[in-house]
Amino acid sequence: MSTALGALAAAAALALSVPNSAYAAQGLLVINGAAHEDPSGCYPVDRFPSSVANYTDAIAEVHSGPNCTGQVEWLVYPGETYFTETAQSVFVL
């Protein structure tokens, strides 16, 4: 019984000590020629026309508003490039 409780306590301690790690895509997200390695989160689009090249293992959402607000204009799947004249930000899922 004490062995089972010790194992349970160790498992609980391990579960609590491992933080909820934020997922980061593996690879490169290239926005207007600027490469972002292993991207995660929101990135601004600062000039027009713009290109978003996704060389990661995740989907990139192209947003119509700044700070990844507004409508999702396009989903850029791994290996794809998207050209836009209206997007203001990109979020990597």
Tell me, what's the pLDDT at 12?
Answer: 43
Report how many domains make up the chain. 1
Task: Write down the pLDDT at residue 1.
Answer: 53
59: containing domain: 23-92
Q: What is the pLDDT along the chain (93 residues), one digit of tens a residue?
A: 544 434 444 444 434 333 434 568 999 999 999 999 999 999 999 999 999 999 999 999 999 999 999 999 999 999 999 999 999 999 998
Q: Does any domain span residue 88?
A: yes
pLDDT of residue 10: 42
Q: Per residue, what are the HEC states of 31-89?
A: ECCEEEECCCEEEECCCCCEEEEEEECCCEEEECCHHHCCCEEEEECCCCEEEECCCCE
Count CB atoms within 10 A of the CB of residue 86: 12
Show the tokens assigned to 21: 């790690």
Residue 11 counted as domain residue: no
Kindly report the CATH number assigned to the domain that includes residue 67: 2.60.20
Tokens coding 13: 């301690």
**Does residue 60 lie within any of the structural domains?**
yes
